[in-house]
């Protein structure tokens, strides 16, 4: 089961509820006192699990036992398989308890721990994934690891029991060799994270062409996306390509984006009934997904479809944004405004069963409406339904790539039928056993949702999106942030059921700052700009590597890690460094502070060597680079925000794809923070106007929509 960390991101099985109720006789381990859904799933295992922390470390040192570290997350399918096969087995648990100190870590709560030990496993085995299974010395240094181990030897993998026995015996008979190996691995890990700005490195925008060529060569021109199977959405690739389309006037770059967006939204990876995207497609055609839904995937894909809409003007893209945000606000949001992390792939009836349909089920669901019932064949054809199905005898709904009944959105009566049908199909589906929801709230992922909602508001003008973005921002700032004695805002990473816990990592700061800047550009409320600046100061103070450039994943002062990770790989999520570089560039334009620009450029240069070797692995960092070299526009709107004339000018700005730009409303409350506002505050009685500046030069103010459009286009 070992594969790449992305490909073994098989997700979701069943969800345990919580720790032992005091009135029951169920025996629990030390995970029962935790609040992570993933850790609580293992609280009743016979394994004497410990959470990551001093108690476990002290026990390992006192008893001189190796540590077995198991890392996963609540919706990880193979994590649940290994639990059911091994961690619930009394004999296996007994051996583990006698010979190891066993620690469970939720990778979504502690990505910093996962990053370190995943690197060690990939370095020694060539692959990684979850569950991550690593053996450590009492000093937390890794000496052996893998991913999923079966209960009996198969597929060339040893059984978990054999691995345990071998490690235990080696610890007793040849401990020095293991300790020496672990010490060498620790040194290797420190070196792996030792990215630094080379004195000879300089930013060269030809790297953008190299990245484009890499992506174009792996593009599937028949079905969209990159590579064969499994296929992941990879929004960062799409963000890079939309900007490359502008930067190099590449029509093919845009074609790659639109083909991928079209294929995903018509395939089974998209939930056509409830909205939102599943984790990835198991096939080349986007037809059969792995059914888990992640908050971060959907936030990023909303942003991708928003950008696609601005470039292609597809009404279908607008519908995808509407339905995906509808799902998130309906099923993934607390009453207070925070967004949950994920929905599982499985329900009590099995993996994917909640999403699969037989023709008879669809016919039954539509039978309550005479018109829909009469048009059942048309609707079922639209969704590519067959009697035999495409998934375990049932159908995962998809809109055929060449489905003649689909027509163009808005151009056929079929669309009206489908919209009405979806409502009844959702009502019918919601009566089935539902997949569980991981209800922890992660700061960085909520930052992505703030961005998604803010951008959707800007483009489509729906007040409900702006209201939701504000509510989420206020929730995060109330529950996951606090101010120190000097007024600096500090973040924590996770909130669940009244508990705010776990030190924030770099992505929590950078993603939230980016979201707050997007929210400011949607609402023009100065407090969100203030929060973003405050958090940026904290991010630089606590995470920036003053010696060699770039940001560490963890804040200074961390004491429970053997290495301080610093990385910029852009995978399912953009890296914290990539977004940190981007927000520094945005703030440089908004505040005219060269310090922010230097931080961003030094961050890009810190990773220049790996970017040069494999640019398509750093597409979000290259988005920041494109902002840096793309002559960013500083757009100052001078006028009463509530006036119809000002709103018309804002609509012009928001209807254009201007990724390398910042927008500020001239407001006396921001005058000290942004020199751009000097002499540009609105004058009572004068018509609103917009100043467009670039490279320290401003054009004549635009007073009309036509003038503004021409000014922005040049």
Residues in the chain with pLDDT values less than 70: 1-25, 401-412
User: In whole angstroms, how far apart are CA 150 and each of 29, 47, 75, 143?
Assistant: 23, 17, 19, 20
- Structure tokens that stand for 357 in this block: 């349909």
List pLDDT tens digits, range 410-447. 345 788 899 999 999 999 999 999 999 999 999 999 99
* 158: alpha, beta or left? (left if phi > 0; alpha if psi -120 to 50): beta
The third-level CATH classification (topology) of the domain covering 631-714 is Glutaredoxin (3.40.30)
CB distance 243 to 215 below 8 Å: no
CB distance 664 to 641 below 8 Å: no
User: In whole angstroms, how far apart are CA 201 and each of 44, 50, 196, 545?
Assistant: 53, 45, 10, 17
First to last CA, the chain: 53
Identify the residue whose tokens are 């029951």: 24
Helices 315-331 and 463-479 pack at an angle, to 10 degrees, of 40
CB distance 328 to 295 below 8 Å: yes
Rounded distance between C-alpha atoms, residue 270 and residue 451, angstroms:
21
Task: Return the pLDDT at 685.
Answer: 87
Rounded distance between C-alpha atoms, residue 481 and residue 488, angstroms:
10
Name the nearest CA neighbour of 379 among 272, 271, 270. Answer: 272
List pLDDT tens digits, range 458-482. 999 999 999 999 999 999 999 999 9
Task: Return the pLDDT at 412.
Answer: 58
Q: Can you spell out the DSSP letters for 401-469?
A: TT-TTT-STTSSHHHHHHHHHHHHHHHHHTTSPPPPEE--EEHHHHHHHHHHHHHHHHHH--HHHHHHH
**Angle 189-505-551 (CA atoms, 0-180°, nearest 5)?**
60
CB distance 396 to 288 below 8 Å: yes
Q: Where are the domains of the chain?
A: 30-192, 225-436, 631-714
Task: Return the pLDDT at 179.
Answer: 97
| Cis-peptide, bond into residue 131, ω within 30° of zero | yes
Name the nearest CA neighbour of 88 among 49, 25, 45. Answer: 45
Task: Return the pLDDT at 442.
Answer: 98
| Cis-peptide, bond into residue 230, ω within 30° of zero | yes
- 704-712 long-range contacts (CB < 8 A, ≥24 apart) are 705/648, 705/649, 705/651, 705/652, 708/649, 708/652, 708/653, 709/652, 709/656, 712/633, 712/635, 712/652, 712/653, 712/656, 712/658
Rounded distance between C-alpha atoms, residue 415 and residue 300, angstroms:
26
CB distance 134 to 141 below 8 Å: no
Three-state DSSP class for 351?
A: strand
Identify the residue whose tokens are 């904290």: 538
The third-level CATH classification (topology) of the domain covering 30-192 is Glutaredoxin (3.40.30)
Rounded distance between C-alpha atoms, residue 69 and residue 229, angstroms:
30
Task: Return the pLDDT at 557.
Answer: 87
Cα-based torsion angle of the residue sequence 363, 368, 373, 379 in order, rounded to the nearest 10 degrees: -60
Contacting residues for 503 by C-beta, under 8 A, at least 6 apart:
492, 493, 554, 555, 558
Task: Return the pLDDT at 25.
Answer: 66
Strand partners for 68:
102, 135
30-192 and 631-714: identical CATH topology: yes
pTM for this prediction: 0.93
Task: Return the pLDDT at 350.
Answer: 84
Task: Return the pLDDT at 15.
Answer: 36
CB distance 538 to 490 below 8 Å: yes
Rounded distance between C-alpha atoms, residue 305 and residue 309, angstroms:
6
Three state DSSP letters for 484-545: CCCCCEEEEEEEECCEEEEECCHHHHHHHHHHHHHHHHHHCCHHHHHHHHHHHHHHHHHHEC
């Amino acid at each position: 089961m070992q594969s790449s960390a992305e490909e073994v991101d098989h997700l979701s099985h069943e969800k345990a509820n919580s720790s032992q109720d005091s009135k029951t006789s169920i025996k629990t381990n030390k995970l029962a006192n935790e609040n992570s859904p993933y850790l609580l799933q293992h609280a009743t295992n016979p394994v004497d699990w410990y959470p990551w922390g001093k108690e476990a470390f002290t026990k390992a040192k006192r008893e001189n036992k190796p540590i077995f570290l198991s890392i996963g997350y609540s919706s990880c399918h193979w994590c649940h398989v290994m639990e059911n096969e091994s961690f619930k087995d009394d004999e296996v648990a007994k051996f583990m308890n006698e010979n190891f100190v066993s620690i469970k870590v939720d990778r979504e709560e502690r990505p910093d721990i996962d990053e370190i030990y995943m690197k060690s496993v990939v370095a020694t085995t060539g692959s990684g994934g979850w569950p991550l299974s690593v053996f450590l010395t009492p000093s937390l240094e890794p000496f052996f690891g893998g991913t999923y181990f079966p209960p009996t030897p198969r597929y060339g993998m040893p059984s978990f029991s054999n691995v345990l026995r071998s490690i235990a015996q080696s610890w007793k008979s040849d401990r020095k060799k293991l300790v020496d190996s672990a010490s060498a691995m620790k040194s290797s890990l420190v070196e792996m994270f030792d990215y630094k700005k080379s004195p000879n490195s300089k930013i060269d925008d030809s790297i953008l062409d190299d990245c484009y060529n890499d992506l174009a060569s792996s593009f599937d021109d028949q079905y969209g996306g990159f590579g064969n199977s499994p296929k992941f959405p990879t929004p960062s690739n799409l963000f890079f390509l939309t900007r490359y389309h502008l930067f190099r006037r590449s029509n093919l770059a845009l074609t790659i984006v639109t083909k991928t967006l079209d294929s995903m939204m018509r395939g089974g990876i998209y939930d056509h009934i409830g909205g939102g995207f599943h984790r990835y497609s198991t096939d080349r055609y986007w037809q059969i997904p792995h059914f888990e839904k992640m908050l971060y995937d959907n936030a990023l894909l909303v942003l991708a479809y928003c950008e696609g809409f601005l470039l292609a003007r597809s009404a279908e893209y607008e519908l995808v944004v509407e339905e995906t945000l509808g799902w998130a606000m309906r099923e993934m949001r607390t009453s207070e405004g925070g967004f949950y992390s994920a929905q599982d792939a499985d329900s009590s009836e099995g993996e994917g069963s909640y999403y699969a349909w037989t023709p008879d089920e669809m016919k039954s669901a539509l039978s309550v409406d005479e018109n829909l019932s009469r048009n059942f064949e048309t609707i079922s054809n639209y969704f590519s339904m067959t009697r035999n199905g495409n998934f375990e005898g049932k159908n995962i709904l998809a809109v055929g790539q060449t489905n003649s009944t689909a027509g163009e959105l808005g151009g056929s009566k079929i669309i009206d039928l489908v919209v009405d049908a979806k409502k009844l199909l959702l009502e019918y589906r919601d009566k089935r056993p539902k997949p569980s929801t991981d209800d922890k709230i992660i700061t960085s992922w909520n930052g992505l949702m703030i961005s998604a909602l803010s951008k959707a508001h800007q483009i489509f003008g729906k007040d409900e999106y702006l209201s939701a973005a504000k509510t989420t921002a206020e929730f995060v700032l109330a529950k996951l942030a606090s101010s120190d004695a000097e007024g600096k805002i500090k973040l924590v990473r996770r909130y669940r059921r009244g508990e705010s816990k776990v030190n924030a990592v770099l992505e929590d700061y950078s993603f939230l700052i980016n979201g707050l800047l997007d929210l400011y550009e949607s609402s023009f409320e100065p407090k969100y700009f203030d929060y973003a600046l405050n958090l940026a100061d904290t991010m630089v103070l606590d995470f920036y590597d003053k010696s060699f450039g770039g940001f560490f994943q963890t804040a200074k002062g961390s004491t429970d890690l053997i290495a301080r990770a610093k990385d910029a790989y852009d995978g399912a999520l953009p890296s914290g460094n990539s977004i940190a570089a981007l927000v520094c560039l945005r703030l440089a334009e908004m505040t005219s502070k060269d310090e922010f620009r230097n931080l961003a450029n030094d961050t890009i240069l810190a990773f220049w060597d790996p970017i040069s070797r494999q640019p398509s692995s750093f597409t979000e960092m290259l988005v920041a680079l494109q902002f840096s070299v793309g002559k960013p526009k500083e757009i100052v709107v001078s006028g009463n925000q509530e006036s119809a004339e000002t709103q018309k000018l804002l609509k012009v700005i928001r209807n254009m794809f201007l990724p390398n730009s910042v927008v500020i409303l001239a407001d006396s409350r921001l005058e000290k923070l942004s020199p751009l506002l000097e002499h540009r505050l609105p004058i009572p009685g004068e018509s609103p106007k917009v100043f467009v500046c670039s490279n320290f030069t401003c054009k004549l103010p635009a007073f009309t929509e036509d003038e503004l459009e021409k000014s922005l286009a040049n």
